[in-house]
């Protein structure tokens, strides 16, 4: 029997009989279901606004600001271990550890966070972001679980360690049991399972990646058996090596020490690709494992989510984010998350880091981390100098725009993207005070109100006519460890400024693409097409769909009745040239300028760098409403004229007045 842990907190004693906690039912239940055409958050059987507030350094003041803005959903951080989230920067921990010794747990940090939130907002619903990396003392007691480096030293936990997974899973279960038996169970609705560097399931490493722990090789050889269905001949053919089998196959060197500016040869380097696949699937398997524990321990009533699938932004395959396809098949996972694209300049789209339509297709909710810097963004060194290493977190992306007007515009761009695409997110007030101004809090408040005032709906009249298909394994083939991949995927910035919306799918969902919905399909970064994929391309072409295929050497354009146009070396595209291609293919352009446009689900959002006069054209007759005032701008129009300030964002309701687009 595990011993009783006595926790003294706020003048009273909390007694926890660890391992003997009587599991009481959750008083509420959260889930994700398809509603109005998109995965939707439900709490206690009813749709719930999918917008939350989070801060690493949250206080009652900031929680009160969120509550007064109409937000009642909160994320709070918690940690099994005692180290900071970023293994490269040296940052200190934001909370005391939950796991303080063998069979010894300290939940006082969770109590403090719940008490502060509930004091500010008695209606609060809470998702705990629980970081599952172990404490230092546990690694020291279990030296066989760490990454072994070439010089004989070690660095953090090996994610191939089954011992770590099982131990962390057991502690996760104990934490959930305690929470469900506590007075806070009424307010708990989910666990965001986190791990690795920056809580985002990135592998821990500094300049290079090494892990020579024998458990990793054993896990890899076992993985190969599954990959090749225990057929050694299939492995030998794939690796072009007749001496290899499941007992002597070795991991390829993916340290990143050796790089070359060229794509790997698929006939000679399949062992490298398999190493990266194993590397990525290991992380996806961990997420699925811990989500299953959350579901089983809570009788299916707690929401589960994780950061994963950053294939559209993080192009370094060593990070481990190349197995989204596998994770989307996990029945225990409810939502996925990432920060918005970090090209945080005015006038650019900041898309999620994953293929959004594939995530929706598989019934998963997307929750964006809106860690948007503002003109009043605080620095960690000023808010918590005791955890901030010298010179860290104080320049570059950590600085906000120079003025409040731009700050407001950027927050509205975040809101506009969520509303038009039918997903949610949290306002991430990292160090506290980033949104503590009435003009910024109004964005949070209005976003809540718009979600409740205007029913969510599936709007077929504004569905994208452009589809982009990406291969999440592209970076596996990149000998430069990411730079070649980044050159191709950097087209996401031009795509955001063509004046037409687009859908983004994984290559693994190739067969799910509509035969009639799209005028253009761009296969962006697929080095080789399989025979069945080529057949599909030819079928699309015969239907009149324009296909762009960008491989590692250039772009081919397929059009009905025309010879294939091969543009060698053409990997990067400007928005203006894409607009020309869209027009030729019959895609409707809402805008004919390099501004960011989102449209969908009854919403229109335009974000501009230069401002000026803009004309938004609709392919249908529409009623256009100002959602802020309720004023009908036009009760029947094919276009609206806007005069926008530089660096601004405009948001409108658009209601089609016809049954079919024309």
pLDDT tens, position by position, 227-266: 999 999 999 999 999 999 999 999 999 999 999 999 999 8
- Window from 18-32, 370-384, 439-453, 557-571 with minimum mean pLDDT: 18-32
- State how far the Cα of 295 lies from the Cα of 268, in Å rounded to an integer: 43
Which of the four pLDDT bands, split at 50, 70 and 90, describes residue 658?
confident
Residue that the structure tokens 């299916």 belong to: 300
pTM of the model: 0.95
Q: What are phi and psi of 618, to 5 degrees?
A: -105, 145
CB-CB contact of 225 with 231 (8 Å): no
Residue that the structure tokens 């050796």 belong to: 258
How many CB atoms sit inside 10 A of residue 607's CB? 27
pLDDT tops 70 at residue 51? yes
pLDDT tops 60 at residue 22? no
Q: Percent of the chain beyond pLDDT 90?
A: 93
Task: Summarize the confidence of residues 149-153 as an average pLDDT.
Answer: 96
Q: Which pLDDT value is given to residue 662?
A: 43
CB-CB contact of 625 with 653 (8 Å): yes
pLDDT tens, position by position, 95-106: 999 999 999 999
Around 467, how many Cα atoms within 13 Å sit in the side-chain half-sphere? Answer: 23
Q: Which pLDDT value is given to residue 17?
A: 43
Residue that the structure tokens 């090209």 belong to: 343
Q: Percent of the chain beyond pLDDT 70?
A: 95
Q: Which pLDDT value is given to residue 115?
A: 98
Q: Which pLDDT value is given to residue 4?
A: 31
CB-CB contact of 648 with 611 (8 Å): yes
CB-CB contact of 596 with 502 (8 Å): no
Kindly list the domain boundaries of the chain, sorted by start residue: 4-202+284-453, 460-574
Pairing verdict, β 104-105 and 125-131: unpaired
DSSP H helices, 146-191, are 162-181
Which of the four pLDDT bands, split at 50, 70 and 90, describes residue 60?
very high
Q: Which pLDDT value is given to residue 256?
A: 97
Residues 6+ apart with CB under 8 A from 329: 362
Task: Summarize the confidence of residues 182-211 as an average pLDDT.
Answer: 97
- Average pLDDT for the chain: 94
Among the listed residues 160, 158, 161, 192, the one whose alpha carbon sits nearest the alpha carbon of residue 175: 192
Task: Quote the CATH superfamily of domain 4-202+284-453.
Answer: Glycosidases (3.20.20.80)
pLDDT tops 60 at residue 602? yes
Torsion 656-660-661-662 (CA) sign? negative
Per-residue CA distances from 230 to 183, 214, 226 (Å): 51, 21, 6
Q: Quick one: fold of 460-574?
A: Rossmann fold (3.40.50)
pLDDT tops 50 at residue 660? no
Residue that the structure tokens 């409403």 belong to: 625
pLDDT tens, position by position, 284-326: 999 999 999 999 999 999 999 999 999 999 999 999 999 999 9
pLDDT tens, position by position, 384-401: 999 999 999 999 999 999
Instruction: Give helix then strand counts, H and E, for the chain.
Output: 16, 28
Torsion 504-508-514-520 (CA) sign? positive
- State how far the Cα of 537 lies from the Cα of 546, in Å rounded to an integer: 9
pLDDT tops 50 at residue 45? yes
pLDDT tops 90 at residue 486? yes
CB-CB contact of 14 with 410 (8 Å): no
Which of the four pLDDT bands, split at 50, 70 and 90, describes residue 3?
very low
Beta bridge partners of 603: 600, 653
pLDDT tens, position by position, 344-378: 999 999 999 999 999 999 999 999 999 999 999 99
> What is the dihedral angle through the alpha carbons of 203, 205, 210, 211, rounded to the nearest 10 degrees?
-50
DSSP H helices, 94-161, are 108-120, 136-141
Which of the four pLDDT bands, split at 50, 70 and 90, describes residue 661?
very low
Task: Summarize the confidence of residues 406-427 as an average pLDDT.
Answer: 98
On the question of a common fold for 4-202+284-453 and 460-574, the answer reads no
pLDDT tens, position by position, 540-566: 999 999 999 999 999 999 999 999 999
Give the CA angle between residues 242, 261, 203 to the nearest 5°: 75
Which of the four pLDDT bands, split at 50, 70 and 90, describes residue 27?
low
Tokens found for residue 419 = 């509303």
pLDDT tops 80 at residue 11? no
pLDDT tops 80 at residue 6? no
Residues 6+ apart with CB under 8 A from 265: none
Q: Which pLDDT value is given to residue 64?
A: 98
pLDDT tens, position by position, 613-645: 999 999 999 999 999 999 999 999 999 999 999
Among the listed residues 143, 157, 140, 141, the one whose alpha carbon sits nearest the alpha carbon of residue 202: 157
Tokens found for residue 619 = 């392919």
CA-based end-to-end distance of the chain: 71
Tokens found for residue 483 = 């730079």
Tokens found for residue 343 = 């090209």
Is residue 4 classed exposed, middle or buried when 0-12, 13-18 and 19+ CB atoms within 10 A define those classes?
Answer: exposed
């Amino acid at each position: 029997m595990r011993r009783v842990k006595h926790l003294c907190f706020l003048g009273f004693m909390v007694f926890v009989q660890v391992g003997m906690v009587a599991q009481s039912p959750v008083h509420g239940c959260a889930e994700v279901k398809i509603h109005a055409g998109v995965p939707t958050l439900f709490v206690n059987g009813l749709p719930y606004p999918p917008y939350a507030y989070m801060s690493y350094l949250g206080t009652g003041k900031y929680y009160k600001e969120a509550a007064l803005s109409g937000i009642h959903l909160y994320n709070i951080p918690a940690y099994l271990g005692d180290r900071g989230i970023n293994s490269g920067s040296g940052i200190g921990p934001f909370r005391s550890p939950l796991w303080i010794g063998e069979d010894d747990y300290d939940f006082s940090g969770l109590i403090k966070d719940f008490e502060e939130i509930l004091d500010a907002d008695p209606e609060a619903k809470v998702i705990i972001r629980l970081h599952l990396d172990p404490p230092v003392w546990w690694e020291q007691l279990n030296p066989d679980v760490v990454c072994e480096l070439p010089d004989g030293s070690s660095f953090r936990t090996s994610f191939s360690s089954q011992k770590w997974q099982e131990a962390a899973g057991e502690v996760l279960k104990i934490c959930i049991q305690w929470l469900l038996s506590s007075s806070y169970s009424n307010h708990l609705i989910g666990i965001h399972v986190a791990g690795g560097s920056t809580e985002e399931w990135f592998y821990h490493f500094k300049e290079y990646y090494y892990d020579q722990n024998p458990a990793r090789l054993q896990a890899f050889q076992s993985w190969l058996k599954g990959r090749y269905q225990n057929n050694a001949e299939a492995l030998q053919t794939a690796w072009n090596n007749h001496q290899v089998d499941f007992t002597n196959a070795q991991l390829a060197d993916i340290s990143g020490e050796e790089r070359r500016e060229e794509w790997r040869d698929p006939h000679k380097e399949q062992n490298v690709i398999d190493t990266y696949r194993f590397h990525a699937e290991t992380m996806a398997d961990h997420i699925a494992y811990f989500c299953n524990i959350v579901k089983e321990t809570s009788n299916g009533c707690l929401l589960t989510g994780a950061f994963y699938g950053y294939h559209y932004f993080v192009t370094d395959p060593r990070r481990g984010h190349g197995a989204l396809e596998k994770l989307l098949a996990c029945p225990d996972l409810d939502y996925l998350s990432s920060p918005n694209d970090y090209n945080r300049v005015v006038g650019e789209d900041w898309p999620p880091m994953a293929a959004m339509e594939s995530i929706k297709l598989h019934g998963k909710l997307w929750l964006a981390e809106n860690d948007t810097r503002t003109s009043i963004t605080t620095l960690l060194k000023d808010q918590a100098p005791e955890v901030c290493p010298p010179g860290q977190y104080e320049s570059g992306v950590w600085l906000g725009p120079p003025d409040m007007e731009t700050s407001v515009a950027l927050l509205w761009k975040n809101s506009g993207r969520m509303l038009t695409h039918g997903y949610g997110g949290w306002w991430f007030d990292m160090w506290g005070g980033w949104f503590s101004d009435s003009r910024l809090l109004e964005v949070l408040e209005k976003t809540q109100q718009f979600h409740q005032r205007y029913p969510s709906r599936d709007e077929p009249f504004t569905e994208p006519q452009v589809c982009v298909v990406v291969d999440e394994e592209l970076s596996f083939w990149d000998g430069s460890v990411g730079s070649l991949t980044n050159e191709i995927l950097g087209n996401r910035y031009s795509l955001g400024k063509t004046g037409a919306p687009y859908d983004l799918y994984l290559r693994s969902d190739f067969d799910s693409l509509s035969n009639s919905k799209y005028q253009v399909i761009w296969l962006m970064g697929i080095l080789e097409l399989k025979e069945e994929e080529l057949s599909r391309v030819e079928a699309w072409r015969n239907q009149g769909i324009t296909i762009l295929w960008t491989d590692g050497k250039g772009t081919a354009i397929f059009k009905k009745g025309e010879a294939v146009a091969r543009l060698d070396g053409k990997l990067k595209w400007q928005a203006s040239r894409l607009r020309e291609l869209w027009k030729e293919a019959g895609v409707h352009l809402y805008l004919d300028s390099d501004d960011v446009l989102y449209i969908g689900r009854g919403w229109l959002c335009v974000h501009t760098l230069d401002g000026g006069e803009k004309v938004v054209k609709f392919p249908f007759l529409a009623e256009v409403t100002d959602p802020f005032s309720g004023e009908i701008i036009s009760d029947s129009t094919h276009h609206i004229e806007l005069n926008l300030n530089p660096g601004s964002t405009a948001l409108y309701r658009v209601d089609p007045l016809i049954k079919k687009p024309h």
